Amino acid sequence: MYKVNLGCGSVFVDSPDWLNLDYVSYSPAVRKANLLSRLPLPDGTATLVYSSHFFEHVPRAMVSGLLRECFRVLQPGGVLRLVVPDLENMVREYLARRESRQHAKADFVVFELIDQCVRSEPGGELGRFYRQIILQEERCSEMIEYVRRRTGEDLPAIAIANRQGNYSPRRFIGVLWGHVVRAWIQLWCLCATSSLLYLECQLCGSG
């Protein structure tokens, strides 16, 4: 019987009892796998399926299929434990840092929030940001420690995963701004659609 860690990244238990799965293998203890396909386990062979900060990156249409796979590999009475971002915590943290004039940390929370919502590749834009501050470790030691506390990420491992990418502050901000614009457009469209439906109902009701 296995304990399974889905999308483990660089944080995993190196033990024969654990099967650590991810798209990118950071260690011989991590097995490379397509997590949105059939999981590489027979039915009913896991006592626990655990995943931390992976499910929020799964396309919504594929979540139900992934959950079915989790239940397929679990033995009867097995445990499924999922950890996802806390939006309220992020917003409160942003306000607290901005009010205390810790603007770099407040900006990081914005990056964290946006990247968590739209990331579709290992590491994402935050991975490139991590890589940049690691290169300036002496000057950015306080920021590195803050990021570690916020995300629990092993920054050197994420930097390695993104080593083929060329970091550019202008590109980083540009990409994030693009995400913000798209998010606002989607929200506006949703609100506009809801308003039109409400208006249609009102008109139908008054007829």
**Kindly report the CA angle at 130 between 124 and 135, in degrees rounded to 5?**
140
For residue 115, the SS3 value is helix
Residue 161: name the closest of 126, 137, 136, 133 by CA: 126
Dump pLDDT digits (tens) for 114-162: 766 665 555 555 556 656 655 565 566 776 677 766 665 544 444 444 4
Structure token digits, residue 46: 């896991």
Distance set, CA 52 to CA 4, 123, 130, 154, 173 (Å): 12, 14, 19, 14, 27
- The domain locations on the chain are 2-83, 87-185
The CATH number of the domain covering residues in 2-83: 3.40.50.150
Q: Tell me: the pLDDT tens digits for 62-102?
A: 999 999 999 999 999 999 999 988 888 888 989 999 999 98
Query: What distances in angstroms separate CA 169 from CA 21, 82, 143, 145, one per listed residue?
Result: 32, 33, 16, 21
